[in-house]
Amino acid sequence: MNFNTVETLLNKKEFIVNTFDIGDIDWQSAYTFELENVKTLIRNKNIKWGVEIGSHVGESANAIIKVIGNCTLVCVDYWDLEKQKGGGYPVPNINDVYNQFLSNIVHYNISNKIVPIHKTSKEASKYLDMKFDFCYIDADHSEDGVYNDLCNWYPKLNDNGLMCGDDWIWKTIRYESKKWNECINIESHEYDFNKIDSLNPLRKGVKRFAMENDLNIFSIQNFWWLDNK
């Protein structure tokens, strides 16, 4: 397939670069990709082509590129904050979020490595006739949303590819027995999982897909990934 990177779009003058802006609400936990265990896991996969489902204003794309290095990352998003308001999420004060995403990618100096796909997750999964070494799910956090994303994108994963995502546990969920930086391989810890799942429906979607496909779930703090049993 032929793709336009952000650099190509800029050279074609298809957008005007704004000043850098991520808005007044921070949705990205860049710290996730600073964890050494996460870096090691990702770098051991020899990733050349990655896809991110849910890119917002580019913070996570930048964090991913910093870890992987020499790869092409396809960023899938419909970049429509009005639709996201309907999902009950607070949204940042950005008027044209797609243009801001493109602009931020230029400011991050990674415009030659990012391919934006301005579609919904389902539309993009049908449109992209290719396989990926890395798939990062960070879009619709409802149970059905993450489950459907996994159904659509897992078949596009190369052998030994990494299917992963964010927000396995949220910082809003506190535990008296463990410190935040001790939440590694959380499934081995003595937490109230019914409480966690009720507060975080994303977990239910991941678990449903993993059970149906005989996969194991692993996690390091907010970062989760799937692997064969």
The confidence score (pLDDT) of residue 44 equals: 93
The confidence score (pLDDT) of residue 191 equals: 46
Compute the Cα dihedral for 202, 206, 212, 218 and give only its sign.
Answer: negative
Question: Which of 167, 165, 169, 160 is CA-nearest to residue 150?
Answer: 165
The confidence score (pLDDT) of residue 160 equals: 92
Say how far apart CA 142 and CA 125 lie, in whole Å.
18
The confidence score (pLDDT) of residue 220 equals: 80
The confidence score (pLDDT) of residue 228 equals: 83
Say how far apart CA 108 and CA 101 lie, in whole Å.
10
Tell me how many degrees the CA angle 40-128-22 measures, rounded to the nearest 5.
60
Question: Block means of pLDDT (10 residues each) for the chain, length 229 residues?
Answer: 92 96 74 85 95 95 95 96 66 86 98 98 96 96 95 96 87 45 44 60 91 88 84
- 211 to each of 75, 200, 201, 208, how far by Cα in Å? 27, 18, 16, 5
Q: Which two tokens stand for residue 63?
A: 């964090």
Exposure string for 22-33, b = 16+ CB within 10 A, e = fewer: beeeebbbeebb
CATH architecture type of domain 6-228: 3-Layer(aba) Sandwich (3.40)
Say how far apart CA 218 and CA 72 lie, in whole Å.
25
DSSP letter at 20? P
The confidence score (pLDDT) of residue 229 equals: 60
Bridging pattern class, strands 72-77 and 114-118? parallel
